[in-house]
Amino acid sequence: MSRRVVGPFNRVEGDLEVKLDIAAGKVCEARVVAPLYRGFEQMLVGRDPRDALVYTPRICGICSVAQSVATARALAALEGVAPPDNGRLSTNLVLANENVADHLTHFYLFFMPDFAHDAYRGEPWFGIAGERFKAARGTAAAEVLPARAEFLHLMGLLAGKWPHSLAIQPGGTTRAIEPQERIRIGALLHAFRRFLERTLFGDELEAIVEIGSADALMRWYGSGDPARSDFTRFLHIAEALQLERLGRAGDLFMSYGAYDEVDERLFRAGVWQGGERMPLRPESIHEDLAHSWMGLRSSPKHPYEGVTVPAVPTEEGYSWCKAPRLGGRVVEVGALARQLIDGHPLALDLVARGGGNVRSRVIARLLELARVTLAMERWAREIVPGEPFCHHGALPEEGQGMGLIEAARGSLGHWIGVRNGRIHNYQIIAPTTWNFSPRDSNGVPGALEQALVGAPVREGERDPLVVQHIVRSFDPCMACTVH
């Protein structure tokens, strides 16, 4: 058996290291290391609760709005305030703008360039990937960056700027939209839809969201040139490299539910295991510190009771990341979990056949990209200029609040405790904290650690590409993971 330390991984947000034990050409054990600690939970203690709206977006440059929304939800729970319809719609649009832009960035800039690596030059499919997805200078990046930037004009209109806006408040948004601005939002969304249809999908968004099974997907893929769109290029490569056989974790999925509609969420909340959807019980979330570089170790605690005190790194632990568990179990979060728990037939079928894997995670992300863009068009139409965007509440001197939302990468939770008008405790569990957690006190590895076991490693490969594919299939955000 040999041990290999892989890292840094670029094209993930933040710094990441993976320690692999390799035997007989396969990974037999993996340890995921989050090597940077910043301490936002400590910074917030003692501050006025409203300051969290400035601090938490700055946890992460790529999920900044998601952090804002989670804070706003937690404060709204404390205040007992809810946004008016316009504030709800505007928040949905801003959050969706970030999430959709993140999915796009992940696919084009972070994930696909690995298939343009010179190590694949001899593969028969390299012709459709090499020039297209080559990091930094591929033809795809040249088309995607301007489309992404134009799409983010929605942020300029609805949130002032991105990242790090203060437009999302507990009672709604600070930016009322005028009638002509609503028209402009519609125009930007239309332009983005056309980009997706022309470049990413090669088909109408309505046709993509109608694909209802794994077989239907392959029929759609087979109905034309595999190089007719970037989605079909991916499906072609995925077939050749059998990506559906890589990166399977424990297949227990969780979603807090995403985007507020009038009485429900666009994508419903829940937990998925073994073909069954169960209700989410947030009170059964605990964080385990057994293998984290954390002081004041104790039995796993619910975030309301959670403690964050970093320790000097020792041999006992191996990551700054804590190990969140749901009812003591490891869960996987992300677009696949959301689409599965919401009951989209394609996600259901993909998971029934092969669980969470590199291919199904990427397909779910692209499916969601189409579904959310369609929802954005509707939300923009539902805004009523002239009606209020923000309600106003008052913070109590004492209390607790939680904000559970879905960021691009999965379930994001904030738990705040207030005493004497000041933050007494603030705990955050980010999507990649779930996916990239270290082992817990029972020695059970986190989702990525499980997903890497069995990955084939070629002789002499210093930075195994298969490991890169598996790691990036989760779309990790290390800035959020430890915060």
Report 145-204 residues binding other proteins (CB under 8 A). 145-146, 148-150, 152-167, 169, 171-176, 178
CB of 474 to other proteins, least distance (A): 16
Which CB sits closer to other proteins, 138 or 324?
138
Q: Cα–Cα distances in Å, from 196 out to 69, 234, 325?
A: 26, 15, 36
The tally of CA atoms less than 13 A away on the side-chain side of residue 77 is 16
How many residues are listed for the chain in this entry?
483
Segment lying near other proteins (by CB under 8 A), choices 43-51, 200-208, 229-237, 344-352: 43-51
Site track 9-38 with other proteins (rule: CB under 8 A), x = hit? xxx-xxxxx---------------x-xxxx
109 binds other proteins (CB under 8 A): yes
Give, as ranges, the residues between 325 and 354 that touch other proteins (CB under 8 A): none
Spatial distance between the Cα atoms of 423 and 418, rounded to a whole number of angstroms: 5
Residue 133 or 221 having the CB closest to other proteins: 133
Give alpha helix (H) positions in 242-331: none
Of the pair 6, 205, the CB lying nearest other proteins is at 6
**Tokens matching residue 138:** 């591929």
State the DSSP code for 163.
S
Strands, E, within 172-211: which ranges? 172-173
Taking the C-alpha atoms of residue 242 and residue 237, their distance in angstroms, rounded to an integer, is 8
CB of 405 to other proteins, least distance (A): 18
| Burial profile 229-246: b = 16 or more Cβ within 10 angstroms, e = fewer | bbbbbbbbbbebbebbeb
Type of residue found at 460: G
Compute the distance between CA of residue 380 and CA of residue 260 in angstroms, rounded to an integer: 14
Determine the interface stretch with other proteins among 50-58, 208-216, 225-233, 357-365 (rule: CB under 8 A).
50-58
385 forms part of the interface with other proteins (CB under 8 A): yes
**Whether residue 303 has a cis bond before it, omega within 30° of 0:** no
Q: How far is the CB of 452 from other proteins (least distance, A)?
A: 15
Q: Does 43 bind other proteins (CB under 8 A)?
A: yes
What is the nearest approach in angstroms of other proteins to the Cβ of residue 217?
29
| Residue 389 binds other proteins (CB under 8 A) | yes
Distances (CA, A) of 406 to 17, 211, 265, 346, 412: 25, 24, 11, 20, 6
Q: Are 249 and 450 in contact (CB under 8 A)?
A: yes
The footprint of other proteins on residues 287-326 (CB under 8 A) is 310, 312-313, 320
Interacting residue with other proteins among 27, 64, 70, 244 (CB under 8 A):
64
Q: How far is the CB of 161 from other proteins (least distance, A)?
A: 4
Q: Taking the complex as a whole, how short is the minimal distance between the CB of residue 476 and other proteins, in angstroms?
A: 12
**Cα-atom radius of gyration of the chain, to the nearest Å?**
22
71 part of the interface to other proteins, by CB under 8 A? no
- Cα three-residue angle 205-239-474, rounded to 5 degrees: 70
The closest alpha carbon to 170, from 53, 85, 267, 59, belongs to 53
Size of interface with other proteins, in residues (CB under 8 A): 91
What are the start-end ranges of the H helices in 296-357?
335-342, 345-354
**Which bin fits 105, alpha (ψ -120 to 50), beta or left (φ > 0)?**
alpha
With CB under 8 A as the contact rule, the residue among 107, 110, 415, 436 that binds other proteins is: 110
**Nearest approach, Cβ of 257 to other proteins (angstroms)?**
26
Helix (H) or strand (E) holding 432: helix 431-435
Q: Which is nearer to other proteins, 152 or 447 (CB)?
A: 152
Asked whether the beta carbons of 195 and 148 are under 8 A apart, the reply is no
Q: Supply the minimum distance, in Å, between the C-beta of residue 8 and other proteins.
A: 4
Q: Which is nearer to other proteins, 356 or 403 (CB)?
A: 403
Q: Does residue number 284 form part of the binding site for other proteins (CB under 8 A)?
A: no
Query: Considering only residues 218-257, where is the footprint of other proteins by CB under 8 A?
Result: none
Q: Is 119 in the site for other proteins (CB under 8 A)?
A: no
Does the footprint of other proteins cover residue 139 (CB under 8 A)? no
Binding mask 419-458 for other proteins (x = CB under 8 A): ----------------------------------------
